[in-house]
């Protein structure tokens, strides 16, 4: 059994839809479960429409939703023979989405996120139906499953987490019997439903997590993440054109890369796969003959010290200094209670005897954080920073990595340095304006003289 996940960029045109359907049909003998994201930019349009509705611009928001009808008519309408299927679905969905925008304009702050998730869920609901109809049209024994009937989540709307017990129960009850009947099962990623029946979403990139949860729940032989790149690269090829495709990665390396800015995988993707030791393969839907990158439990390239260099911009650094000569007992606990209360994730932490520096990548609650922290310490914050992270399992056993990294950076100022407890990464914080120079310099230092055979 195989899980195949396709992102929005792999579904952005009629030609792309035909290509994806062909990839799924080629794997029909492996009983594939196909997980699809929303077509093209649908989710972005819906997110923008929700912002307009909250601001009272309901008519303009509804016009954005109407534009989705045009997008799907252009993409799906170009390949579906039975136009009535698409027309009926679009009419129903647009009406429902328009009503949700009205509801959103008058919703309380407490209700708002639940309504937003109901709105956003339409992207994957529509794309999964389109893919099912296309496969059926091509003669495949395809069946649609509403992901909301399968993926059970908590009620942290817009960033919900799967509840694995009830989700696995539903996978066994609803999905496995369909797979056993040799059908191609199609469902939308990113979306689920709470225990009390309300639509929920897993956050941006959540379709990857859906694929991993489904794969683990049905004990799939492999989980495939189909994207528009050849696999996981040694750096972002948009920044480093000479970046190389990595043939393999360990689960630990993949997790670190995703968390610190790797754009191919969602940070939570490999978690469920790790639990069941299910390989994850990253592939290019535009180049199906490329082997991609295989992510497995153990490091397959031990001679390659650094596997990849990733970066994440839009970072803020918060510097916290104890108002006493030495940090008192409970000082760190008090700091992190503030972050917990304001539901803000910390990326990198660096400490000394009297100070703590840390980074966050979402500045929405920065001012609240600073205000609360000033009750226990002296606090300052700096925006416009970036994380540059070197990742590789062999870093932990290779002396001189930090020295080589600083030599490659030359005169670039490093604001913070950190190494995670897994010792699989070396993380540096620099000014955003220095990111390009930092990444390209580090890539030259660690990959210019590497044996090309390692990337075969």
Helix axes 14-26, 109-137, angle to 10 degrees: 70
Q: Report the percent of the chain where pLDDT is more than 90.
A: 71
CB count, 10 Å around CB of 70?
11
β-pair type (2-6, 222-227): parallel
How far is 324 from 225, CA to CA, in rounded Å?
51
Average pLDDT of the residues in 10-15 = 92
Instruction: Find how far residue 140's CA is from the centre of its chain.
Output: 30
Region at 202 (left for phi over 0; alpha for psi -120 to 50; beta for the rest): alpha
Q: What's residue 112's pLDDT?
A: 94
Average pLDDT of the residues in 45-74 = 94
For 427, the token pair is 């993380």
* 35 or 40, higher pLDDT: 35
Contact 232, 262 (CB under 8 A): yes
Task: Give the chain's domains with CATH numbers.
Answer: 2-228 (3.40.1160.10), 308-455 (3.30.2130.10)
Average pLDDT of the residues in 74-86 = 94
In this model, does residue 209 exceed pLDDT 70?
Answer: yes
Q: What's residue 422's pLDDT?
A: 65
Q: What's residue 264's pLDDT?
A: 74
Residue pLDDT, tens place only, 338-380 = 999 998 989 899 887 778 999 998 888 899 999 999 988 899 9
Q: What's residue 252's pLDDT?
A: 87
In this model, does residue 101 exceed pLDDT 80?
Answer: yes
The pLDDT mean for the chain works out to 91
């Amino acid at each position: 059994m195989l899980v195949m996940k396709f992102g929005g960029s792999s579904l952005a045109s009629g030609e792309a839809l035909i290509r994806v359907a062909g990839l799924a049909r080629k794997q029909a003998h492996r009983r594939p479960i196909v997980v699809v994201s929303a077509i093209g930019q649908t989710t972005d349009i819906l997110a923008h429409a929700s912002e307009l509705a909250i601001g009272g611009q309901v008519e303009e928001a509804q016009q954005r939703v109407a534009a989705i009808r045009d997008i799907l008519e252009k993409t799906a309408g170009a390949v579906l023979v039975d136009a009535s299927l698409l027309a009926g679905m679009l009419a129903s969905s647009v009406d429902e989405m328009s009503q949700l925008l009205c509801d959103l304009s008058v919703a309380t702050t407490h209700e708002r996120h639940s309504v937003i998730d109901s709105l956003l869920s339409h992207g994957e609901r529509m794309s999964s139906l389109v893919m099912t109809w296309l496969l059926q049209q091509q003669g495949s024994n395809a069946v649609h499953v509403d992901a909301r009937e399968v993926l059970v989540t908590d009620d942290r709307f817009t960033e919900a987490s799967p509840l694995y017990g009830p989700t696995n129960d539903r996978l066994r009850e609803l999905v496995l019997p369909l797979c056993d009947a040799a059908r191609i099962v199609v469902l939308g990623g990113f979306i689920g439903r709470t225990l009390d029946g309300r639509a929920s979403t897993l956050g941006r990139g959540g379709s990857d997590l859906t694929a991993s949860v489904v794969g683990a729940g049905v004990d799939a032989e492999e989980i495939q993440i189909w994207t528009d790149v050849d696999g996981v690269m040694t750096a972002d090829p948009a920044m480093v054109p000479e970046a190389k495709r990595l043939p393999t990665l360990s689960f630990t390396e993949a997790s670190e890369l995703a968390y610190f800015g790797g754009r191919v995988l969602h940070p939570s993707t490999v978690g469920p796969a790790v639990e069941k030791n299910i390989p994850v393969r990253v592939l290019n839907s535009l180049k199906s003959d490329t082997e991609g990158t295989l992510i497995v439990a153990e490091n397959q390239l031990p001679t390659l010290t650094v596997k990849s260099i990733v970066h994440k911009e839009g970072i803020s650094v918060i510097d916290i200094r104890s108002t006493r000569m030495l940090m008192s007992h409970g000082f760190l606990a008090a700091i992190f209670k503030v972050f917990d209360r304001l539901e803000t994730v910390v990326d990198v932490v660096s400490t000394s005897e009297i100070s703590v520096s840390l980074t966050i990548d979402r500045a929405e609650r920065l001012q609240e954080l600073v205000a609360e922290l000033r009750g226990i310490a002296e606090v300052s914050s700096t925006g416009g920073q970036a994380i540059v992270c070197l990742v590789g399992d062999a870093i932990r056993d290779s002396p001189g990595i930090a020295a080589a990294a600083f030599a490659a950076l030359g005169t670039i100022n490093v604001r913070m340095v950190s190494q995670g407890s897994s010792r699989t990464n070396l993380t540096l914080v620099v000014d955003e304006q220095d990111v390009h120079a930092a990444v390209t310099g580090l890539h030259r230092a660690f990959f210019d003289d590497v044996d090309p055979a390692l990337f075969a």
